[in-house]
Amino acid sequence: MEKFELDILGCGSATPTTLHNPSSQVLNIREKLFMIDCGEGTQLQFRRSKLRFGRLNQIFISHLHGDHCFGLIGLISTLALLGRTGDLFIHSVAGLERTLRAELDFFCRDNPFQVKINVFDPHNSETIYEDRSLTVKTIPLSHRVPCAGFLFQEKQKEAHLLPDMIKFYNIPVKELSRIKQGADFITEEGKVVPNGILTKPSEPARSYAYCSDTAYDERIVPLIEGVDLLYHESTFADSDIARAKETGHSTARQAAQIAKMAKVKKLMLGHFSARYPDNSILLEEAREIFPETILANEGLREKL
């Protein structure tokens, strides 16, 4: 199967610690890199992960809290120093253009490439990026400021032709495209040859959902149903549920409840509060409800 990998660059919350960097991660899909959030220190983590700066073209910013976007200007400056010439696209809620453009005009006025900002509405689920193999949709989240998660969905490939059967039935080349798309073949004598004996299914399309930052909100369940991997914030343990509600965040147990309701295949916890020197308490609470749970950690590379 072609590459579909998630690299965790940062999975802490607002305050950087010696354990975790602020939020950032990169999806490597067929050697195209898609960055999600860009907290302080992201470019250093990017280097440590041995990812290639030249393959990064799309950045998705969930909301305008500093731990999710303070790393942008440094990353953009480094891309210029490395000789980048192609445009860089940033997808964000409204407001980033005003703040980032001032920094770009001051620090990066001689950049050899353009930074283009695509503004999306965080209150609706909409497609904000699409190419031949992938679509990216927003997931409205419940936080103190406008915020959205992101759903990355691989497009289902056409079925694979079985060469021996194609040859056996002497099927013309002009029919092959229709057959790959699911059509049966009808011979000159009128016999129907079922598609199932002419093809084999392609690998299932993969999907990844990023939901941070957000309070517990069951409205996202239909949008993320059945995804291969769900990253859901788990800023707090259950003992701090009142603080979670107050700040627009979730507990690990609440993240697990969402994963269970959405029937996802695997849950990854992240956006950990600095108050927990050991995140295993969060993992234990989540696994009581959803056993297929893992912890995010800097340097983790998860293959889908």
> For residue 168, is pLDDT > 80?
yes
Which of 7, 37, 67, 213 is an active site residue? 67
- Using DSSP bridges, classify how beta strands 192-193 and 199-200 pair: parallel, antiparallel or unpaired: unpaired
pLDDT given for residue 188 in this prediction = 86
Contact of 231 with 272, CB cutoff 8 Å: no
Average pLDDT of the chain is 96
**Is position 213 annotated as part of the catalytic site?**
no
Nearest to 99 by CA among 131, 61, 128, 133: 61
Range of weakest confidence among 15-19, 127-131, 205-209, 251-255: 15-19
Mean pLDDT of 69-94: 97
Q: How far apart are CA 249 and CA 214, in angstroms?
A: 5
Mean pLDDT of 101-105: 94
Mean pLDDT of 288-297: 98
> For residue 291, is pLDDT > 80?
yes
Q: How far apart are CA 73 and CA 77, in angstroms?
A: 6
pLDDT given for residue 190 in this prediction = 86
Q: Does domain 4-157+203-303 have CATH number 3.40.640.10?
A: no
Q: How far apart are CA 35 and CA 25, in angstroms?
A: 6
The structural domains of the chain, with segments of one domain joined by +, span 4-157+203-303, 160-200
Residues ≥6 apart with Cβ < 8 Å to 21: 9, 10, 11, 12, 39, 40, 41, 42, 45, 298
- The fraction of the chain above a pLDDT of 70, given in percent, is 100
Over the stretch 36-75, which tens digit does the pLDDT of each residue have? 999 999 999 999 999 999 999 999 999 999 999 999 999 9
> For residue 1, is pLDDT > 90?
no
Which strands form 267-270's sheet, in the order they lie side by side? 127-130, 134-140, 148-154, 207-211, 229-233, 267-270, 293-295
